[in-house]
Structure 1
Amino acid sequence: MITATMSSKGSKNEMPKPVCLIDNTEKGGLRICEEALQILDKISQPVVVVAVVGLYRTGKSYLMNRLAGKQKGFALGSTIQSKTKGIWMWCVPHPHKKDHTLVVLDTEGLGDVEKGDEKHDIWIFCMAVLLSSTLVYNSLGVIDNAALEKLQYVTKLTEHINMNMDAVEGEEACSKSTEFMRVFPSFVWAVRDFSLDLELDGKTITADEYLENALTLNKDDPQNVKTYNKTRSSLRMFFAVRKCFVFERPGNTKKLKKIEELTDEELDESFVKQATAFCSYIHTNSKAKTMRGGLVMTGRSLGTLAQTYVEMISSGMVPCLDSAVDSLSRIQNSRAVTEAEEFYLSEMTKKVQFPTETHQELSDIHAGVEKEAISIFIKGSFNDQDQKYQKELAEFLKKEYEMFVQQNVEESRKACRAIISRVFGPLEEAVMEGTYLQPGGYTQFCSERDEAAQLYMSEKGHGLMREEVLMSYLSEKNDVGRSILAADRSLSDAERKMEEEKRQNEALEQKNRYLEEQQKIQDQQIADLKNSHEEHVKQLTEKMEAERERSMEEVTQTLQAQMKEQERMMKEGFRQQSEAMQRDINSLRNRTQTRSDCIII
């Protein structure tokens, strides 16, 4: 049973077996599978995507099952017929990268004699390249000219994948092959049933050296050199990182018909060791899937990307990486805003108990919920140019918070008036009955009014408008107090004057307390706006910095690969091609100069 993390809140959904991601239509086209999209839609983590391609009946599925950490999963077969059709997907928790999901893609075997459709094979190969962060090419035997000719799909990539070649402002445009190298996955050649000794000119070599030697270009046979070099050159110019693993036969042929039922103890020891090294390398070195510029992909965005590419192909278009990014940006950012907004409203509604005793209490709840809402947007957003969508979210959060503040005020006033009505009720009844219209009545009125005011102030649940409502109420009753004072013949004129001044001073003190209360609220609201802006900038800065680092790593890796390739071209005698590469190298060097991205939230 496979347990795959598929939600932003860390809950786990089970994916017991692989599902089809891209299926074949009756007419030989491609279509996206809704079940796979629904699974990917729940994965908000970055995804490490490993796709395997190769000729049919070469054991690709078995290798992918081991990579997923399972004995069974992707369909295996013991006959000459291909089992896998289209592209199948299995999502599992990444064994080494925390909070990442490993997405393993098993593709339909290339060169299936029953299918006999080279165009279909090319699109399957292109989709594997476009969706993966590591591309595994699986083959049998040895890496020779015949094996490389079977990998001729790589030479078709420039015809079947497009990208906007306009340079970013301040940058010089690179060649198409160099731009491809920036965004293409790492390349791993898995050579199965390898029976030769890894030796060259009498010296032991590594599997990587074996691959690179096989990719050496030839300029001695002008008549056939173009055909000979085409696949080799494409592999060298498109894939900055190349790796090779050789595997001996797993065991005797009869047993291998049911290889998925065999334990490691029943397999050849060397094969098990080689398979373990392969899986360890993939798990350790495969990076999260990114688009050009260091834009990291989540499961959700991977699903949208796959759907976008399939729609392009189905409509007769050549998939364009930059157009896909634009489409993905609109879809992902709109959704990220909606989810952040819905989260904010839901959490605030659950957490805020109106009225809050102080504005600070509401402010603290808002700050915590807003921070998480911004985080939800930041994690879900994709290539938010000029922070258009984040500004939309910021405006929404500001407006909704103001509405919560206003509701808090109104609920506080409502609660305060209810308390006023209750604690001052007996006093109001006494006034209506004329209880205080007698000698000494004013003193009694003032005493009972002050007692009611103290009781009011001691009550809980006023909210932040306690002073305002009390001040307003007492102000409304001033005329009543004056009437009782005027009617109390036990007081001299001087005493009446003193009482009047005393009440005025009390009213002034109360007004000052009210103004202080309102000033605190106003100051806190200003602080809330400042803190909100700082939180937006903080989280955006962290994301942009991570993207900048990934982008620089991407450019640096491409630059190093290009410089290495240029040197190799010179050694192999391709001076003209080597010199032509210098322009791209210069452009890449310029891009390694750190640029400061503008944050305009």
Structure 2
Amino acid sequence: MAKIENESAVKEGLEVYQRGMEKLKDSFPLELKDVSSEHQRLSSLATQTFMKRSFKDNEGIFMKCLEEHINKLFDGYLCQNQEASKKRCENLLSSLCAPMTEKIKKGFYAKSGGYELFSQDLEVIVKEYKMEAKKGVKAEDTLEEFLKQKFVDSKAILQADKKLTEKEKKIMEEREKSVLLAQVINTKEQKQQQLEEKMKAERRSNKERMKQMKEKMDEEIRLQREEAKRTMDSKLRVQADLLEKGFKEKADRMTKEMEDFRKKNKEAEKNSDQLFKNMIENMNKRHDETIKLMMRQHSEQMNVIMSMPRPESDSSSLILCLLLAGLGGGSLGSGSCSFPCSC
């Protein structure tokens, strides 16, 4: 009976979570903090729904089941949000890049001075892309892929440009490498920030689960004590009636029964308290393992970022200024950007 009831409780909790996340999905792409915030709220509601119906889940088996299913669903929604962000960013860049694509087809840049014209157009595309809102979690990733593709075109245009000397071409090539390096670092830093947000969300969710578990246990103990009091009051009335009718021997037996009842009830409370402590310990253990994994990923990503060389700031390159401004809040470049732009 308890198994059937608890399975139904898990199902109801998951339905509450899924309904809410399906509504949120209509707004994808969103920033990770917005998805995490709604995940936490719905996870809390799902846990409340489960606890209202759950029955004697003393070892927390079904609570763990709910938690694992919610985390699996959350990972799925995060993937869908990433896909929506990637699609939005690719469509945006495709739209912004359409005039450039047409110019390349017509050979517009295949002339003396063509590389400078191409670079100017690319800078405009990047600036407009950076200004667009609601790009979501794949904004930097998608821009990195775009720049890699465009620098294939750029290299061909650069080599064909007879206006530039070989020395100038080498300088331009180095500048492009700096631009790509800046964007690669931007992408890694965005992923680092997203991992930090996931850790914050996990800590908040675990704290909320602990709170709900304590409230559930406090309520169960309160009900248990009320039931014990009602039973004891009933026994006392029966005993008083026996004494009034002169059945002293039966009344004495009732005294022993009541003493046994008190001991059993006290032992039951002690067992419930221990089960609760075990559930909390297991939940905290799962939480700690999740955080440790995230911390290890965070440390590995940070080591990669810190080991990468920092691109030099170049005030003659608007695109590099825009990208350097994104590095660690603009503080990681080796020089300051003096180009007269909004970065």
TM-score between the two structures when normalised by the length of structure 1: 0.43
Aligned length: 274
Identify the residue that residue 71 of structure 2 maps to in structure 1: 398
Identify the residue that residue 342 of structure 1 maps to in structure 2: 15
Contact 1:360 1:524 in 2 (8 A): yes
Identify the residue that residue 484 of structure 1 maps to in structure 2: 157
Contact 1:556 1:592 in 2 (8 A): no
Identify the residue that residue 442 of structure 1 maps to in structure 2: 115
Per the TM alignment, residue 572 of structure 1 is displaced from its structure 2 partner at its CA by: 5.1
C-alpha distance in structure 2 between counterparts of 1:415 and 1:354, whole Å: 12
Identify the residue that residue 364 of structure 1 maps to in structure 2: 37
Structure 1 stretch displaced more, 378-387 or 583-592: 583-592
Contact 2:25 2:81 in 1 (8 A): no
Structure 2: which amino acid aligns with 1:526?
Answer: M
Identify the residue that residue 100 of structure 2 maps to in structure 1: 427
Contact 1:436 1:484 in 2 (8 A): yes
Per the TM alignment, residue 577 of structure 1 is displaced from its structure 2 partner at its CA by: 2.3
Contact 2:10 2:50 in 1 (8 A): yes
Cα shift readout 1:81-103 (whole Å, capped 9, x = no counterpart): xxxxxxxxxxxxxxxxxxxxxxx
C-alpha distance in structure 1 between counterparts of 2:256 and 2:119, whole Å: 92
Identify the residue that residue 384 of structure 1 maps to in structure 2: 57
Identify the residue that residue 247 of structure 2 maps to in structure 1: 574
Structure 1: which amino acid aligns with 2:104?
Answer: V
Per the TM alignment, residue 514 of structure 1 is displaced from its structure 2 partner at its CA by: 1.0
Per the TM alignment, residue 364 of structure 1 is displaced from its structure 2 partner at its CA by: 1.5
C-alpha distance in structure 2 between counterparts of 1:587 and 1:535, whole Å: 38
SS in 2 for 1:490: coil
Structure 2: which amino acid aligns with 1:438?
Answer: K
Structure 2: which amino acid aligns with 1:443?
Answer: E
C-alpha distance in structure 2 between counterparts of 1:464 and 1:526, whole Å: 16
C-alpha distance in structure 2 between counterparts of 1:505 and 1:453, whole Å: 15
Structure 1 residue 333 corresponds to structure 2 residue 333: no
Cα shift readout 1:169-210 (whole Å, capped 9, x = no counterpart): xxxxxxxxxxxxxxxxxxxxxxxxxxxxxxxxxxxxxxxxxx
Superposed, 1:115-130 pairs within 5 Å as none
Residue of structure 2 aligned with 1:542, choices 215, 231, 239: 215
Structure 2: which amino acid aligns with 1:554?
Answer: E
Structure 1: which amino acid aligns with 2:118?
Answer: F
Per the TM alignment, residue 566 of structure 1 is displaced from its structure 2 partner at its CA by: 4.6
Contact 2:151 2:176 in 1 (8 A): no
Contact 1:562 1:585 in 2 (8 A): yes
Contact 1:552 1:592 in 2 (8 A): no
Contact 1:340 1:376 in 2 (8 A): yes
Cα shift readout 1:395-441 (whole Å, capped 9, x = no counterpart): 21111111110011111111111111111111122223222222221
Greater gyration radius:
1
Cα shift readout 1:284-314 (whole Å, capped 9, x = no counterpart): xxxxxxxxxxxxxxxxxxxxxxxxxxxxxxx
Which of the pair has the greater relative contact order for Cα pairs under 8 Å at 6+ separation?
2
C-alpha distance in structure 1 between counterparts of 2:84 and 2:204, whole Å: 25
**Gaps in structure 1 of 5+ consecutive residues:** 1-326
Per the TM alignment, residue 478 of structure 1 is displaced from its structure 2 partner at its CA by: 2.0
Contact 1:339 1:376 in 2 (8 A): yes
Structure 1: which amino acid aligns with 2:97?
Answer: F
Structure 1: which amino acid aligns with 2:31?
Answer: T
C-alpha distance in structure 2 between counterparts of 1:373 and 1:577, whole Å: 51
C-alpha distance in structure 2 between counterparts of 1:497 and 1:509, whole Å: 18
Of Structure 1 and Structure 2, the greater strand share is in: 1
Structure 1 residue 501 corresponds to structure 2 residue 178: no
SS in 1 for 2:169: helix
C-alpha distance in structure 2 between counterparts of 1:359 and 1:423, whole Å: 25
Per the TM alignment, residue 466 of structure 1 is displaced from its structure 2 partner at its CA by: 0.9
SS in 1 for 2:60: helix
Q: List structure 1 segments (4+ residues) > 6 angstroms apart after TM superposition.
A: none
**Gaps in structure 2 of 5+ consecutive residues:** 284-343
TM-score between the two structures when normalised by the length of structure 2: 0.72
Superposed, 1:216-227 pairs within 5 Å as none
C-alpha distance in structure 2 between counterparts of 1:546 and 1:350, whole Å: 32
Per the TM alignment, residue 469 of structure 1 is displaced from its structure 2 partner at its CA by: 0.4
Contact 2:37 2:201 in 1 (8 A): no
C-alpha distance in structure 2 between counterparts of 1:523 and 1:358, whole Å: 13
Structure 2: which amino acid aligns with 1:449?
Answer: L
C-alpha distance in structure 2 between counterparts of 1:475 and 1:338, whole Å: 46
Identify the residue that residue 143 of structure 1 maps to in structure 2: none
Identify the residue that residue 328 of structure 2 maps to in structure 1: none
Identify the residue that residue 109 of structure 1 maps to in structure 2: none
Structure 1 residue 519 corresponds to structure 2 residue 185: no
Per the TM alignment, residue 580 of structure 1 is displaced from its structure 2 partner at its CA by: 2.3
